[in-house]
Amino acid sequence: MHPLRSLPLFLLPLALLLSACSGERHSPESPTRGVMRLAVDPGYEGPAATEAGLFSRYYPEARASVVTAESLSAPAMLARGECDAALSLLRPDVAPETKGSRFRVEPVGRDAVVCLVNAHSPLRRLSVSELKALFGGERSGVLPLIAEGDVVMRALLEGGGAHGGWRLRAYGAPDRAALLRRIEADAGAAGLMLRSAYLSAKESGLVGSGVRMLPISADGDTGGPRMPDAENILEGSYPFVVEVWYIYIPGDALPAGFGSWFSGQGQKALEHGPLVPWRRLERTIILSAQPSSDPL
């Protein structure tokens, strides 16, 4: 029974007035109003927090809190109702005949898998097949490493997606910092890492001069190996570009509004972080109104 129904009738108007003044009545959620939880893959907290902060600046009645998916993947947290949206490399299956068909999936950014080696390593470039063989334990003289915490990248490579099908036989470093230290100390070591994680570690001073990144070429590509810079990632010429997905449940107003922001105005903020925007941003050239001093 509702608590107000047990009150005497002469006290009911006063109770209703106090209830209205107590802040218990909330405005309905909309695409630009409300509170939501965004679960992200480890390492994506920074870009997600930046987007959430900018979104709240434009829409002060909206707030998105960012939580890191540790033991579960971000999409799994969404499926269990532990968050309202997810930012992840793992794209759930959205085919109508599958359980994941209730998700809405939008691409919002790009990342890349990179190979790191010691500065004195004899390796100078690798093809995709050579990289898979190296981290499949098929090449002697090289110590393949993956950070134990990179469970999402491992799931991506061993899964059935476009970059899946790997048979990883790599040693586990305790974390990314330990992986970088081992590569810098061992000329025979090589490690796999997400580009975003590498850039964040470099900004934090964890990448020494003894670590370098290898250019990778697609099998059969006559254009030669490519480095994972932003331009090559946008063009798709670097062969290990991976999409970053924003995932939510259709009908949830605020997660839908945040996703629309992320894939639209929010793309510009990605230019200044470890991720690459999903789409190339248009540049506006502002011409000076002052007459030119050049007579021609």
Encode pLDDT of 155-184 as tens digits. Answer: 889 887 777 888 899 999 999 999 999 999
Q: Which of 91-95, 209-213, 279-283 has the lowest mean pLDDT?
A: 91-95
Give the Cβ contact number of residue 255 at 10 Å.
Answer: 27
273 shares its domain with 218: no
pLDDT surpassing 80 at residue 5:
no
State the total domains in the chain: 2
Q: Which of 36-40, 52-56, 90-94, 284-288 has the lowest mean pLDDT?
A: 284-288
**What is the Cα–Cα distance from 145 to 118, expressed in whole angstroms?**
12
Burial class (CB in 10 A: 0-12, 13-18, 19+), 209: exposed
Residue 139's pLDDT band, with cuts at 50, 70 and 90, is: confident
33 shares its domain with 99: yes
pLDDT of residue 23: 43
100 shares its domain with 64: yes
Full-model pTM? 0.82
Phi–psi pair at 30, nearest 5 degrees: -140, 175
pLDDT of residue 283: 54
The answer to whether residues 221 and 130 touch, using CB atoms and an 8 Å cutoff, is: no
Residue 101's pLDDT band, with cuts at 50, 70 and 90, is: low
Residue 116, domain member (yes or no): yes
Residue 82, domain member (yes or no): yes
Give the Cβ contact number of residue 10 at 10 Å.
Answer: 7
Q: Which amino acid is at 69?
A: A
132 shares its domain with 210: yes
The answer to whether residues 47 and 18 touch, using CB atoms and an 8 Å cutoff, is: no
SS3 108: strand
The answer to whether residues 21 and 13 touch, using CB atoms and an 8 Å cutoff, is: no
Residue 103, domain member (yes or no): yes
**What is the Cα–Cα distance from 156 to 165, expressed in whole angstroms?**
9
Choosing from 222, 241, 260, the residue where a domain stops is 241
The answer to whether residues 187 and 210 touch, using CB atoms and an 8 Å cutoff, is: no
pLDDT of residue 282: 65
Residue 19, domain member (yes or no): no
User: What pLDDT digit, counting tens, does each position of 244-267 carry?
Assistant: 999 999 999 999 999 999 999 999
**What is the Cα–Cα distance from 227 to 237, expressed in whole angstroms?**
9
Domain containing 82 equals 29-109+243-277
DSSP H or E stretch at residue 137? none
Q: What value does the mean pLDDT of the chain take? A: 85
116 shares its domain with 234: yes
136 shares its domain with 258: no
Residue 292, domain member (yes or no): no
164 shares its domain with 191: yes
pLDDT surpassing 50 at residue 112:
yes
> Mean of the pLDDT values across residues 220-235?
91
Question: Left (φ > 0), alpha (ψ -120 to 50) or beta: where does 67 sit?
Answer: beta
pLDDT of residue 1: 47
The residue with greater pLDDT, 282 or 11, is 282
Query: Tokens at residue 68, please?
Result: 């890191």
Most confident by average pLDDT, 22-36, 196-210, 279-293: 196-210
> Mean of the pLDDT values across residues 200-216?
95
DSSP string, 183-244: HHH-TTEEEEEEHHHHHHHHHTT---TTEEEPPEE-TT-TT--B---HHHHHHT-STTEEEE
CATH number, residue 53: 3.40.190.10
pLDDT surpassing 80 at residue 190:
yes
Residue 157, domain member (yes or no): yes
166 shares its domain with 59: no
125 shares its domain with 53: no
135 shares its domain with 228: yes
The answer to whether residues 86 and 252 touch, using CB atoms and an 8 Å cutoff, is: no
95 shares its domain with 36: yes
235 shares its domain with 252: no
pLDDT surpassing 80 at residue 55:
yes
Residue 12, domain member (yes or no): no
Residue 138, domain member (yes or no): yes
The residue with greater pLDDT, 22 or 124, is 124
pLDDT surpassing 70 at residue 36:
yes
The percent of residues above 90 in pLDDT, for the chain, comes to 67
